[in-house]
Amino acid sequence: MKVLIIDDHFLVRNSLKFMLENAYSNVVCIEADNYYNARPHFIDPEIQLIILDIDIPGGTGTGMVTEIRSQNDDVRILICSAADEELLAMDYVMAGADGYVPKSADEQEAMNAVSMVLKGKRYVSPAIQTRLLDMFSAKSRQRPRTTTRLSTREKQVLDLLLEGKWIKEIAAALNLRANTVSSFKTRIFTKLGVTNLFELAKKANEQKRYY
């Protein structure tokens, strides 16, 4: 079994490799310390699992998951990150990742996450599972709405996107991580029902109520 570990911290890669080699006798770990070095491996059909940190050099937020899926739709993708799980986990799972495990997880939880995604299941922590259940429960009690308003932060990101700012420029302007801005961008696109910046500008101009 081949596993691609994408993380810019040597100790994290080494710890994951150690755990995997202890758990699986036939595992071969390939390491990449940035997104650029990882890309050539996406088309390798022998790689069964990719363990991906989202805050890495060259990273593009949820776009990384989209790109990996376009190269290899069968590979299992497990996000392993120190970023705010409650803010980002669902965005990455919705983008196509098979699981999200925080770097603060102990060995048992980490290996349970690996085992579940390799079996074709999805993994998120109990806290996120509870949040998902709460969301579904709340939605089932709500009447359908015809509009979806943007949050204050989403409006700020939207304004900068419409000014032609790049993700990193918006992150610097709002004092946010680039992957957090990418998540806000994904939410904005979803709420407004658009797929690109041209459609976003047109929709925003037509529907001033989102401001």
DSSP 139-191: HHHSPP-S--PPPHHHHHHHHHHHTT--HHHHHHHHT--HHHHHHHHHHHHHH
Ranges of each domain in the chain? 2-126, 152-210
User: Which CATH homologous superfamily contains domain 2-126?
Assistant: Response regulator (3.40.50.2300)
Which stretch of 37-41, 69-73, 193-197 has the lowest confidence by average pLDDT?
193-197
The per-residue pLDDT for 148 is 62
Alpha-carbon Rg of the chain, whole angstroms?
Answer: 18
Please give the structure tokens belonging to residue 162. 């419409």
Characterise 61 by phi-psi region: left (phi > 0), alpha (psi -120 to 50), beta (else): left
Q: What is the pLDDT of residues 148-168, one digit of tens each?
A: 678 888 889 999 988 888 888
What is the distance between the alpha carbons of residues 118 and 77, in angstroms, rounded to a whole number?
Answer: 9
User: Domain 152-210, CATH 1.10.10.10 — does that match?
Assistant: yes
Cα-Cα-Cα-Cα dihedral of 91, 97, 98, 99, to 10°?
-50
DSSP classification of residue 195: S
Which pLDDT tens digit goes with each residue over 54-91?
Answer: 989 999 889 999 999 999 989 999 999 988 777 788 88
Check residue 146 and give its pLDDT.
43
pTM score, two decimals? 0.65
Q: Residues 123-140: pLDDT tens digits? A: 987 777 676 666 555 555
Q: What is the mean pLDDT of the chain?
A: 86
